[in-house]
Structure 1
Amino acid sequence: MLRQMLLAGTERPHASRALEQMTRSTGSCSLFLCWGSTPHHNASLLFSDTATNHIVLSAFLRNGAAYIVMEKIEGQELAKLWHHISDETRLNLLGQLRQIVDELRALETPSEFSVGSCTGGSLQDFRQSRAPPPVRFGPFRTIQDFHSWLRDGLKQGEAENMEQADLNSVNEMIARQDGPWPPPVFTHGDLNPSNILVRDDKIVGIIDWEMSGWYPHYWEYTSLKIGSYLVNPAWDENIDKFLSPFPDDLKMEKVRFRWWGNIC
């Protein structure tokens, strides 16, 4: 399932060049490669199926810029097909997407950091207004450190000039953020239908991985739910069919976005 996918856009600071194998596994996802360059250059990941040829033919640096030569993936954006396919085909595609997400979640969690890019470097997410241009942040040693950064370091009991109901919701958010969390999972960061390529009723590629990385387990779900509710209500109705729902974490994130985000 997880076969011709190029993940691009994460950064590895303080590294002149890196090409490393991060995970070897069995089954359809046979090889996980991560390639990076100097700061502000891209790192790329390749997920390759044992039954297919690698789509990345060459990767190299020239004059300080990173280049990747890869095969073209023939397919259409799911967003353009969604309203023209049957309910049965939609459910089939959502099932395929669920399998892809499950394979991403099965990747071995890094031990040296909790929240960061594929190489342990900084992350990119244009939805995070706290990050200065070019909107990069992290990495973070713990998920709690990441949460603290998201709320600008505000501690329990420090919020002021709020209605009591708002104060209570912020304190509840902080208490949840500072609590224990399961290990981070590898996350695409923007699984909207425009980033999913389909051919002959099969998902053949997922693009735009610049916001991918290791995040808390809820991040894929809450980011997509909050963003889709505003810009793509039709997709919002289907998110629970390919991502595990985390309603309590969604409530927590909605509070954060209200006070520290740039979407809600």
Structure 2
Amino acid sequence: MATRPTLPYFAPPESLPAPLPRIASILASTRFFPSYQVGSKVVHFNQYYVVKYGTRVRLQEGENMLFVRQATNIRVPTVYALFYDEKTSYNFIIQEYIPGRNLLPHWETLDESGKEAIVAQLRQYFDQLRSLPSPGYFGGVWGQRTLDLYLGSGMDASKTSDEHKPLPCATEKEWVDNMIAAGKAVDAFNKYPNLVGFFGHAFHTIFQGHRPVFSHTDLHPTNVLICDDGTVALIDWGRAGWYPSFWEYCCLMAPLGHDCDFDSWIPRFLDEYLVELGWMYKFREWILISCL
């Protein structure tokens, strides 16, 4: 089984493709990748490195990638450094730059055989994740907090500390309790206590009997890279962890715009949970009220 790294973490010097960039050079870089998270910046530093840094960056994301690299042969960026800088109060993740194209809009240029080749790789990747021995809890890797978008602080960007994220759950019932607690944190929804009670009853009825499986949970097409050699790489593991088996499929399907045929291929690499998906749509709407 994969071994948890000691933080701060630095890869052995002989494994580095070039000297690690210094903090001052990272902060001065203007080669930004798009970042949709407040308090997080992602820069392309020379031909070898991508650096993610900021107050909202969690070193647990790098630990997730190290875990996946040790436990599977999934193509993920090599992690070269994980550390906190006291002067800036930033966390830093220095990782491998993988040349490639995002799945979208590249997907729309592919014929049937090209799409089948990508989906076959994704199926093999997720079969590996599903086959990893469960630690017997629902939560972050190595017993850490759950960093999923919808739990704890939900989508409230003002709540930045990890204390708003739930600790590992021993049972799926506890996981569902955390879902309900996240919904109750939405002030606007608490005007309807009967509806909150109904959702709680429905969630505990529907969301049961699922085992914990290691999940990416942010498989947006922008986090799927098609490398120059045709292999698929998965990036942005910040929300990964040991989650109920329905969670990956539902978290991918619920926010999709359904404006291309990619969603029709998803059942070829992820098992479907259609009943759970219907209630996850409702749960997502519940949480999104906090953003209105």
- Indicate whether 1:100 and 2:125 are aligned: yes
Counterpart contact for 1:116–1:214, Cα < 8 Å: yes
Instruction: Name the counterpart of 2:25.
Output: none
Instruction: Name the counterpart of 1:20.
Output: none
Q: Which of 214, 222, 228 is the matching residue for 1:194?
A: 222
Counterpart contact for 1:185–1:214, Cα < 8 Å: yes
The alpha-carbon deviation at position 160 of structure 1 amounts to 4.8
- Indicate whether 1:134 and 2:160 are aligned: yes
Q: Which of 191, 213, 217 is the matching residue for 2:245?
A: 217
Q: Which of 110, 119, 130 is the matching residue for 2:142?
A: 119
Q: What does 1:23-102 correspond to in 2, within 5 Å?
A: 23=1, 32-35=2-5, 37=7, 41-43=58-60, 44=63, 45-46=65-66, 47=69, 56=78, 58-59=80-81, 61=83, 63-64=85-86, 67-102=92-127
Q: Distance in 2 between matches of 1:53 and 1:251?
A: 32
Q: Distance in 1 between matches of 2:240 and 2:79?
A: 22
Amino acid of the residue matched to residue 91 of structure 1? E
Q: Distance in 1 between matches of 2:72 and 2:255?
A: 35
CA RMSD of aligned residues (A): 3.8
The structure that is strand-richer by fraction is 1
Counterpart contact for 1:97–1:203, Cα < 8 Å: no
The alpha-carbon deviation at position 204 of structure 1 amounts to 3.6
Q: If the length of structure 2 is used for normalisation, what is the TM-score?
A: 0.63
CA distance change for structure 1 residues 61 and 211 in 2, over 3 Å: closer, same or farther? closer
- Indicate whether 1:254 and 2:281 are aligned: yes
Q: Match of 1:126, SS?
A: coil
- Runs (5+) with no aligned partner, structure 1: 1-22, 24-31
Counterpart contact for 1:127–1:261, Cα < 8 Å: no
The alpha-carbon deviation at position 62 of structure 1 amounts to 6.0
Q: Distance in 1 between matches of 2:83 and 2:260?
A: 41
- What number of residue pairs does the alignment pair up? 223
Q: Match of 2:104, SS?
A: helix
Instruction: Name the counterpart of 2:205.
Output: 175
- Runs (5+) with no aligned partner, structure 2: 9-54, 184-191
The Cα offsets for residues 67-95 of structure 1, whole Å up to 9 and x where unpaired, read as: 55443212111113111111110011011
CA distance change for structure 1 residues 220 and 129 in 2, over 3 Å: closer, same or farther? same
CA distance change for structure 1 residues 208 and 105 in 2, over 3 Å: closer, same or farther? same
The structure that is helix-richer by fraction is 2
Q: More displaced, 193-202 or 61-70?
A: 61-70
Q: Distance in 2 between matches of 1:55 and 1:127?
A: 25
Counterpart contact for 1:48–1:54, Cα < 8 Å: no
The alpha-carbon deviation at position 175 of structure 1 amounts to 2.0
Counterpart contact for 2:121–2:232, Cα < 8 Å: no
Counterpart contact for 1:195–1:206, Cα < 8 Å: yes
The alpha-carbon deviation at position 216 of structure 1 amounts to 0.2
